Amino acid sequence: MFKNLYLSNRFFYGAGFCIILFGLSFSFTSLFLFAKIFLFLFLLVCIADWYILKSKSSEINCERTVVQRLSLGDPQAVNYTLENSSDSDLDITLVDELPYQLQLRDQIIQDTVNSGKTIVKDYFITPLIRGLYKFGNLNLFVSNPKLGFIQHRIQIEASKDTEVYPSIIQMKKYELQVFSKTATLSGIRKARKIGESNEFEHIRPYIQGDNIKSINWKATSRKNQLMINEYQNTRSQTVYCIIDKGRAMKMPFDDMTLLDHAINSALVLSNIILKKYDKVGLVTFSNKIGSIVKASSQHGQLELISNRLYNQRTDFKEPNFELIYYTIRKQIQRRSIILMYSNFENMVEAKRNLPYIKSIGKKHLLVVVLFINTEILAAASDPSSSKSEIYLKTFADRAIHEKEKISQLLNFHGVQTILTAPQDLSVNVINKYLEFKNKRAQ
């Protein structure tokens, strides 16, 4: 009967006052009758409060709206609609059973909802782990603004499963930046227009920034608006994203692992590659080969890559570069651009795998993406005032120098590298790809 009954702070204040009255009545017997009357009235009011709240529970409703696919590492809104159809104003506190991966137990809404009114609130979450997220029930704690001794809990069945995929939001953002006239403002170097003086594809409406030489005047006169000829580049390239899932890629930056940063970047780059009419493929590996997606520019390729990236996990094993070399040799016959996301932390590891990396670079245009440890970089730039801080700064300087030497070693042997902080990864990788496109177009 009292399963969903909760006691508020006001109830405990009233109960405390009753205890004080009964305590004083031992010294002043005249207070004993007053204390009993007060206790009786207090309990009567609490029971009436709970009964009124229980009778209005069917007139309170709440709905949660969340997208089916959430983007990894980006703030996204969960929408809550709270409706009070009763004839009384009510204090309502909403507590959602959020997925355990978010580690949040916040009160979403804590407000007075007037009679016949509906309030809407957006609550922002930032998923930091890929996978299935299970939203549970909605719990409403309702109380009377005037009395407020009792809270009645209303549990609304609202279980919903949603999935966190590599960031679709970042993919769209970088797509807009690459193809906009203001791309340089965001750090992206514009590539030469691909497709000019090549194979005709179709006619489309003119957009500001298009080459006026491509205007189709006959189509313009028929449509009564500027129309241009769209051309397709016949010299399409093949690009593969190779992602190392070894233990070094488990290192955290900005609350996500390097593997997650690499996966987001690979999806962003794959979208840009397909928009540029090139073919894109994917290979993941650690001590064994994970997923292989053959390079293609067909419809559905981006969805296929996104689905394969969704379940990638590091297994804390040492990456097998000999295996990835033989896999590339067997699976990728045509000379391609290969962007390999990895993270050598010391020179010994880099030299041990250098023969296989060089062998890949002889047949393909290989770019190895290495990560700068931003926390070590910050430690190296901090002033030192104690002996322990001096030791830490010295260690940080050596680690930074070691990563730069690894990059120089690969460059010396003809392997291009991108040494980047995780937050700059997508911009730097896109710029490297556009650099290759510019060279090819010349």
**What's the pTM?**
0.76
Query: Same structural domain for residues 38 and 116?
Result: yes
pLDDT (tens digit, 9 = 90+) per residue, 112-128?
Answer: 888 888 999 999 999 99
CATH of residue 120's domain is: 2.60.40.10
Task: Find, among 277, 241, 266, 272, the residue nearest to 178 by Cα.
Answer: 272
Q: Give pLDDT, residue 386.
A: 76
Q: Is the separation of the CB atoms in 293 and 282 below 8 Å?
A: yes
Q: Give pLDDT, residue 379.
A: 66
Query: Same structural domain for residues 328 and 345?
Result: yes
Query: Same structural domain for residues 222 and 160?
Result: no
- Per the structure, the complete domain to which residue 74 belongs is given by 1-165
Tokens (6 digits) for 95: 């507590």
pLDDT score of 71 more than 60: yes
Query: Same structural domain for residues 158 and 214?
Result: no
Domain total of the chain: 3
Query: Same structural domain for residues 255 and 228?
Result: no
3-state secondary structure 270-332: HHHHHHCCCEEEEEEECCCEEEEEEEECCCCHHHHHHHHHHCCCCCCCCCCHHHHHHHHHHHC
Confidence band, pLDDT 50/70/90 cuts, at residue 235: low
Average pLDDT, the chain: 84
Strand 416-420 with 365-371, pairing? parallel
CATH of residue 310's domain is: 3.40.50.410
pLDDT (tens digit, 9 = 90+) per residue, 394-425?
Answer: 777 887 888 899 999 999 999 999 999 888 99
The angle that helices 387-412 and 347-363 make with each other, rounded to 10 degrees, is 20
Query: Same structural domain for residues 285 and 427?
Result: yes
Range with lowest mean pLDDT among 219-228, 238-247, 302-311, 337-346: 219-228
pLDDT (tens digit, 9 = 90+) per residue, 424-434?
Answer: 999 999 999 98
**Whole-number Å distance between alpha carbons of 406 and 347:** 6
pLDDT score of 197 more than 70: no
Average pLDDT over residues 318-328: 94
Query: Same structural domain for residues 190 and 218?
Result: no
Query: Same structural domain for residues 387 and 424?
Result: yes
**Whole-number Å distance between alpha carbons of 370 and 337:** 17
Name which residue leads in pLDDT, 8 or 194: 8
Query: Same structural domain for residues 326 and 422?
Result: yes
Query: Same structural domain for residues 128 and 228?
Result: no
Q: Give pLDDT, residue 4.
A: 64
Q: Give pLDDT, residue 7.
A: 66
Q: Is the separation of the CB atoms in 373 and 420 below 8 Å?
A: no
pLDDT (tens digit, 9 = 90+) per residue, 294-311?
Answer: 999 888 999 999 999 998
Query: Same structural domain for residues 327 and 286?
Result: yes
How many C-alpha atoms does 166 have within 13 Å on its Cβ side? 30
What is the edge-to-edge ordering of all strands in the sheet holding 69-71?
69-71, 160-165, 131-135
3-state secondary structure of 173: helix
Average pLDDT over residues 56-74: 89
Query: Same structural domain for residues 155 and 218?
Result: no
Confidence band, pLDDT 50/70/90 cuts, at residue 196: very low
